[in-house]
Amino acid sequence: MAGARALLRHCPLLLPQDRHGTAYEGFVTAQGRDFHIRILLPVDFQLKNARIECSWRLKKILHGYRHILKQRLQSCPDLVSFMVELKTVLEIALKNTQDLHIPRPPEYYSCLVRDLEILGWNKVAYVDTGLTTVKLKAEDSCGRQHLITLKLNAKYPTEPPDCLVDFPVPFAVSWMPQNSLIDIYNQFLTALESLKEFWDALDEIDGKTWVLEPENPTRSATTRRIAIGNNVSVNIEVDPRHPNMLPECYFLGADHAVNPLRTKLNSNMHLWNPEISLLQNLRELLEIDFPSRAVLEKSDFAKDCGICYAYRLDGSAPDQVCDDPRCGQPFHQACLYEWLQGLPTSRQSFNVIFGECPYCNK
C-alpha cells in the first residue's frame, strides 16, 4: 500500500490495471508534456524482467538512452525508484532533443556572432556547426593554457550558457540579460588568477618529484601521490582555496618505513611556513629530499604488484606493502584482499583482513 501511494505521488497519471499490481498504464510527465506508457511486471515483481511499452514519440526521444534505462531496470529496487529515474532521463533527453532540433531565431545567431567578433576570434578554440557549443582559450599569468566550454541554449543572451571548466572548485557565472561572452571570458580570467598559487604548487611537485598517481593529472586534480623511496610514498590532498596551508597527508608503505615519517610530520607541524612553497615545506617537515626526476627513473619506484604482476589495475597503482623489512613487496589492495580471502589461515575482523604475505609468508 505504501508503494502504491509513493507511485501515485511521483506519477499520478500512471494507474494500476489489475488487482495484483503487475500492470500499469497511463502517462509519464516531463517538461510539461505527457507521454503514454505501459509497464508489465512479472509475477515476482522483478524489474529486470519487466516489459515497457510506450508511444512511438517517447520511443524516439529515449532511443539513445536505452542502455541507461536497461541498467536502471537491473539496479532499481522497485517501480517507484525506476519511474523517478525514467523521469530524470526523460528530462535530459528532452532538453538535448530541443537543443538539437528546435530552430533558433535569427537574433540568436546574429547576437552570438557579434559577441564572438567583439571578443576576438583569436580567443576562440572551437565552434560547432550548429553554433551551440563554443570553446574559448585563455592563458594565465604563468603561461598555462586553459579552455572554457560554453553550451548555449536558444534563449541566449537572455539566459547564460552552461560553462564547463577544468577547475578544482565550482565556477559560477554572474549573468545579466545585457551581458555578453566577453563578460564570461573576463570572469574566467579572474578565476584563473585566483587559482594561480594552487597550480603553481602542484606544477612544482609535478616538475621536481616523481608523482605516482595520477599519471596525467588534470587541472582539477587536487591530490598527488609522491614517491619518497622504494615502495614508500605520500598522498597529499591540497586545498585549492588555501594551497599554502598544510595539506592532508597519508603515507603508504610498510610500517617500519612510514611510522618515522608520520612522527616527523606530527613533531614538525608547527614549523609549516606559508611564505615558502608547499614542496619546500614538505621537505623540511619530513626532513627528507624527494627523489629527483633528474637523477632517478620512475621505474625505481613504480614496482609491479606481487600478485597480478602489473603496475596498473583499473587505474590504481600498488598501495599495500608487506611490513617485513626484508620483503617490502607491494600489492594492489584488491589483489591482496582476494588472495587473503582464499587462504584458510586468514581471518577477518569487520572490514580488515589478516593473513600471510604471498611473498615471504610473514
| pLDDT at 100 > cutoff 60 | no
Q: How far is CA 279 from CA 226, 232, 246, 357, in A?
A: 11, 17, 10, 34
With left for phi above 0 and alpha for psi between -120 and 50, is residue 31 left, alpha or beta?
left
**What is the CB neighbour count within 10 angstroms for residue 142?**
11
- Spatial contact of 347 and 355, defined as CB atoms under 8 Å apart: yes
Whole-angstrom distance, CA of residue 51 vs CA of residue 38: 8
**Is residue 164 very low, low, confident or very high in pLDDT (cuts 50, 70, 90)?**
very high
* Strand duo 347-349 + 145-151: pairing: unpaired
| pLDDT at 238 > cutoff 60 | yes
The string of pLDDT tens digits covering residues 293-321 is 766 666 666 677 777 877 777 767 787 88
- For the chain, domains (ranges, CATH) are 1-99 (3.10.110), 106-200 (3.10.110.10), 209-302 (3.10.110.20), 304-361 (3.30.40.10)
pLDDT value at residue 300: 62
The string of pLDDT tens digits covering residues 172-202 is 999 998 899 999 999 999 999 999 999 999 9
With left for phi above 0 and alpha for psi between -120 and 50, is residue 326 left, alpha or beta?
alpha
User: DSSP letters along 40-54, please?
Assistant: E--TT--GGG-EEEE
The string of pLDDT tens digits covering residues 253-299 is 878 888 999 999 999 999 999 999 999 999 999 999 998 876 666 66
Query: 211: which residues sit within 8 A by CB, 6+ positions away?
Result: 205, 217, 224, 225, 226, 227
pLDDT value at residue 16: 82
Whole-angstrom distance, CA of residue 112 vs CA of residue 153: 11
Q: E strands, the chain, where?
A: 14-16, 23-30, 33-40, 51-54, 124-127, 133-139, 145-151, 162-165, 211-213, 223-229, 232-237, 248-252, 320-321, 330-331, 347-349, 352-354
Q: How far is CA 36 from CA 15, 58, 111, 191, 341, in A?
A: 12, 8, 39, 46, 50
